[in-house]
Amino acid sequence: MLHIEDLCVVRGEGDLAHRVYLPQLELRPGQVMAVTGESGCGKSTLLEAIGLLLRPDSVGRFDLSGANQQRDVAALLSTHQQAQLADIRARHLGFVLQNGGLLPYLTVQDNIRLPCQLLAMIPDKTLLARITDTLKLGPLLSKYPAQLSFGERQRTAFARAILHRPALVLADEPTAALDPHNARQLFSLFIDLVRQEGMMALVVCHDWPLVQRFNLPCLVARPDEQGQDQRGTCFVP
């Protein structure tokens, strides 16, 4: 499970400061939740904080559990345990960037295997075969990112994000540059894989019809009326 309470990040200073606040979030294995809101409201900032890429200014509770182990991330943040936070980020989180973020000098197969290689893990052949088949990547494994369409690069990025079986997958507008048909197809494949493997996922998405089509629960950006002398956004279910 993922359980977060009172997470706050402040970006900028003075009159330009913007407060991003998450009162509470709970995710269970197999659950996919969308993060929605206008451009510039702080969706990516929230994802970066949850993904341990950005240190929050404060957090009341941040527990991430999986594989019969619970990790008190809030305690690690408060005591600046950078090595342990980096290990959690590498082993238990998966990331899908807007542009895929593939390494151009690696083939599709090597890009997918990269997180496992960095963790000195032997990839699960059964899971690899399921991912390759579900995302229709079989004919592309020997190709390089420059030889792929944008949709193919995004499917490869999804595969790379989940092969090491992370507890939580974080995707930042992964379908933003896709046409509606390919966006629906990729979203459906991703949701199916996350649910089948018992992972959790947070997906930043501007496409409200797409979110509605898959009946996803949402964290919705609202003006933060509690922030003192700061513009802000509060993300609520």
- Tens of pLDDT along 32-82? 999 999 888 999 999 999 999 999 999 999 999 876 678 999 999 999 999
Task: Report phi then psi at 103, rounded to 5.
Answer: -80, 120
* Residue 83 CB-density burial (10 A; 0-12 exposed, 13-18 middle, 19+ buried): exposed
User: Is 8 in contact with 55 (CB distance < 8 Å)?
Assistant: no
How much is the pLDDT for 229?
54
Write down the pLDDT at residue 77.
96
Let me know: does 154 contact 186? Beta carbons within 8 Å: yes
Residue 63, Cα to own-chain centre: how many angstroms?
16
**pLDDT tens sequence for the chain (237 residues):** 999 999 999 988 887 888 999 999 999 999 999 999 988 899 999 999 999 999 999 999 999 987 667 899 999 999 999 999 999 999 999 999 887 899 999 999 999 999 999 999 999 999 999 999 989 999 999 999 999 998 899 999 999 999 999 999 999 988 887 888 888 888 898 899 999 999 999 999 988 888 999 999 999 999 886 655 568 999 998
Contact between residue 7 and residue 178 where contact means Cβ atoms under 8 Å apart: no
Determine contact, residues 152/141, Cβ cutoff 8 Å: no
For residue 12, what pLDDT is reported? 86
The H-or-E segment that residue 188 falls in is helix 180-196
Count of alpha carbons within 13 angstroms of residue 160, beta-carbon side: 29
Burial class (CB in 10 A: 0-12, 13-18, 19+), 131: buried
φ and ψ at residue 98, rounded to 5 degrees: -60, -40
User: Cα dihedral angle (25, 197, 163, 81), rounded to 10 degrees?
Assistant: 30
pLDDT value of residue 144: 98
In this prediction the pTM is 0.91
The CATH T-level fold of domain 2-236 is: Rossmann fold (3.40.50)
Task: Dump pLDDT digits (tens) for 214-230.
Answer: 999 999 999 886 655 56
